[in-house]
Amino acid sequence: MPQKIAFITGGNRGLGFQTALDLGQNKEENVKVVIGSRDKAQGEQAVSKLRAAGVDADVLQFDITKQADYQAAYDYFDSKYGRLDILVNNAGIAGGTFPGEGPEHRAADVPMDLLRKVFETNFFAQVELTEKLLPLIKKSPAGRIVNLSSILASLKLHADPKSPIYNAKSFAYDASKTALNAFTVHLAYELRDTKVKVNSAHPGWVKTDMGGQSAPMELSEGGKTSAALATLPEDGPTGGYFHMGKPLPW
């Protein structure tokens, strides 16, 4: 099987690292993972761990908040591989005391500078990077785009007093992920006649720096949804919102 090339933003730790590990250890898929890391030294340490685990991995110094890095990423994949098979838009921020209590959680008085910062990282940057790399993804025989969302993006569940997330309102973060879900739906529609599939992933509430130690899921489980969506077969879904193979309500 020809090797697949995957780019995982924020791949030096947490969910991004676990996704890289899961993808790279799936020998049936033959994936080479390139992790994007703001700090090159931390990225190189992560790559050493991945290689020790049998993963074919490299690191690209990449900061999702720096537009110049988008072109650098395009040039890297274009010159080395001439295409990109998998893009996992993993990098993102919580925007404040998440999970917890703070002004970023309240729609009535969210600080506008904080709201803009969260949207810039969790939404605008994801859209811009994807648009930049899309010509390379279209060159793949089976392009896959995975947008890291959250169950907290679900408007249906937030509006339902009986849902498990009804009282888990984190406005800046939630709204940015809802917007990212809209991007998933629209981009999947526009690519419906191609071999590129676009889906949103809810990894679960996982023990990471963002999720905290109260999270019920171990990190080893956190990459499974993204890895599965990154390696969907030809008859797999597109334009969906999933956790562990099950669809979530928008």
| Domain layout of the chain by residue ranges | 4-247
Q: Give 231's contacts (C-beta < 8 A, 6+ positions apart).
A: 4, 23, 26, 29, 31, 86, 144
State the DSSP code for 105. Answer: G
- Which pLDDT belongs to residue 101? 62
- Which pLDDT belongs to residue 218? 62
Query: Helices in the chain by DSSP H: which ranges?
Result: 14-25, 40-52, 68-80, 112-119, 125-137, 155-159, 171-190, 219-222, 224-230
Q: Is the separation of the CB atoms in 20 and 50 below 8 Å?
A: yes
- Which pLDDT belongs to residue 247? 95
3-state secondary structure of 103: helix
- CA-angle at 34, arms to 29 and 74, nearest 5°: 115
For residue 46, count other CB atoms closer than 10 A to its CB. 22
- Which pLDDT belongs to residue 127? 98
Question: What tokens appear for 248 in the block?
Answer: 């979530």
- Which pLDDT belongs to residue 207? 42
For residue 143, count other CB atoms closer than 10 A to its CB. 23
Label the pairing between strands 240-243 and 246-247: antiparallel
- Which pLDDT belongs to residue 211? 45
- Which pLDDT belongs to residue 73? 98
- Which pLDDT belongs to residue 220? 67
Instruction: Classify domain 4-247 at the CATH class level.
Output: alpha beta
Phi and psi angles of residue 175, each rounded to the nearest 5 degrees, phi first: -65, -35
Taking alpha carbons only, the member of 173, 154, 174 closest to residue 164 is: 154
For residue 131, count other CB atoms closer than 10 A to its CB. 11
Taking alpha carbons only, the member of 115, 219, 98 closest to residue 169 is: 98
> What does the pLDDT profile of the chain (250 residues) look like in tens digits?
679 999 999 999 888 999 999 999 998 999 999 999 999 999 999 999 999 999 999 999 999 999 999 999 999 999 999 999 999 999 999 887 655 566 778 899 899 999 999 999 999 999 999 999 999 999 999 999 999 999 999 999 999 999 988 988 899 999 999 999 999 999 999 999 999 999 999 987 644 454 445 444 466 677 899 999 999 999 999 999 999 899 999 9
